[in-house]
């Protein structure tokens, strides 16, 4: 498709043109900006190195701009943990997720759905620490 970004093309082939990832990617590149949707797309496609190049900057920016307990900052850090896991940095991934769970618990409460989802990711990382993502 003319004007299509390469990542959008790969997502279209793998998931179809009307999926949320593909549409998010299209919106992101139309606006000429990098955001979590793009990094998530790279992660889903297994391009951990490319995703890692962007996520730390994005996570730091969200945290600096909105604070360490802001939901999108925590989502960025959670994605960073998953990318670290994908790169084989198991202990770093678990450490990052421990921090996310602690901050979500402190800001949202232990029973909040976001906190529960983060605890689940942490448990999965711990359980699969020595296997591929």
What are the boundaries of each domain within the chain?
A: 1-33, 48-127
Rounded average pLDDT over 32-38: 62
Q: Report which of residues 14 and 55 the model is more confident about.
A: 55
Q: Is the pLDDT of residue 29 over 90?
A: no
* DSSP 8-state class, residue 131: S
- Contact indicator for 77, 99 with CB cutoff of 8 Å: yes
Task: State the DSSP code for 16.
Answer: -
CATH of domain 48-127: 1.25.40.10
The fraction of the chain above a pLDDT of 90, given in percent, is: 39
Mean pLDDT of the chain: 79
pLDDT for 41:
84
pLDDT confidence of 77, banded at 50, 70, 90?
very high
Question: How do residues 79-126 score in pLDDT, each as one tens digit?
Answer: 999 999 999 999 999 999 999 999 999 999 999 999 999 999 999 999
Burial (CB count within 10 angstroms: exposed 0-12, middle 13-18, buried 19+), residue 55: buried
Q: Which of 104, 15, 36 is nearest to 68 (CA)?
A: 104
Mean pLDDT of 45-57: 87
* Cβ-contact 99, 76 below 8 angstroms: no
């Amino acid at each position: 498709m003319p004007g299509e970004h390469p990542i959008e093309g790969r997502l279209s082939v793998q998931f179809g043109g009307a999926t949320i990832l593909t549409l998010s990617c299209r919106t992101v590149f139309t606006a000429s900006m990098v955001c979590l949707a793009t990094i998530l797309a790279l992660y889903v496609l297994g391009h951990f190195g490319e995703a890692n190049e962007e996520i730390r900057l994005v996570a730091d920016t969200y945290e600096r701009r909105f604070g360490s307990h802001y939901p999108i900052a925590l989502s960025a850090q959670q994605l960073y943990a998953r990318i670290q896991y994908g790169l084989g940095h198991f202990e770093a991934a678990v450490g990052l997720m421990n921090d996310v769970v602690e901050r979500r618990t402190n800001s949202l409460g232990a029973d909040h759905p976001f906190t529960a989802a983060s605890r689940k990711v942490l448990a999965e990382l711990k359980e699969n620490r020595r296997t591929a993502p």
